[in-house]
Copies of this chain bind each other. A is one copy, B any other.
Amino acid sequence: MAITIQIKLNENLYLRDPQDTKLGRKIIQNSILLIDEIGFEDFTFKKLADRINSTEASVYRYFENKHLLLVYLLCWYWEWVKFRIEFNTINIEDPHQRLRVAIETLVESSQSNPSVDFVDEEVLHRIVIAEGSKAYHTKWVDKENKKGFFTTYKALCKTLADCISAINPRFAYPRALASTLLEMSNQQAHFARHLPSLTEITMENGNLIQVKQLLETFAFGLLAIT
């Protein structure tokens, strides 16, 4: 007996729900590991199939192409983050505290869903940092937005924006600040690792706490004054 937290994603993301079958779960699990290892550009369904002792065509039964597989993984991640933020901020009245907890949850990559063993959340977070922006930097953005692929991300942005407006109703850019915080959390981690002169965040002793402080400085700094 246990409570399991199942993540259900937009049906248009896949041809066959990968969570339903053994092969599907192997595809998710190993695509996360493989993309992390070799990067999204070098990642192919052929390489993935070889890794799981299956074939290219079998993978194509689940996902139309590798881009949609990536979007699936990113949706999975944001859905999980959104759940955790909602969970962690429930019953917290003070919007300052809500925003603080939301930011903390956002940068806490390691926390994993115990009921889903085929997703390594920490590795997935690395993928979000390294490849996340590729979800909406394509010529299909508008079509995919219409299909609802970015609904969770937008909802997450709204949650943060509502906090922001509650803290300071006179602040003119709640949604822009919210999306900037979401983007920064990954961007600055990416810079810390690859282009360190673009940020004060360092890789030493885990940049988790540093990113959290950075985001808090930005958010509360902007909201303190009108």
Contact = CB atoms under 8 A, between A and B. Distances in A.
Given A131-B137, A137-B130, A180-B184, A197 B157 contact: yes
18 contacts: A39-B138, A134-B134, A136-B190, A137-B190, A141-B195, A153-B198, A154-B198, A157-B198, A173-B200, A175-B197, A175-B199, A179-B191, A180-B187, A183-B187, A217-B222, A221-B222, A222-B222, A225-B225
For the complex of A and B, the 5 pairs showing the least CB-CB separation, nearest first, are A39-B139, A179-B198, A141-B194, A176-B199, A133-B133
Copies per complex of this chain:
2
Contacts of A177: 218
A112 interface: no
A138 to B, nearest CB: 6
A42 interface: yes
B139 A137 contact: no
Contacts of A174: 200
Nearest to A43: B139
A158 interface: yes
A-side interface mostly: helix
A145 interface: yes
B139 A38 contact: yes
Interface in A96-140: 130-131, 133-134, 136-139
Interface centre among A139, A150, A176 (most CB of B within 10 A): A176
A145 B195 contact: yes
Contacts of A199: 173, 175-176, 179
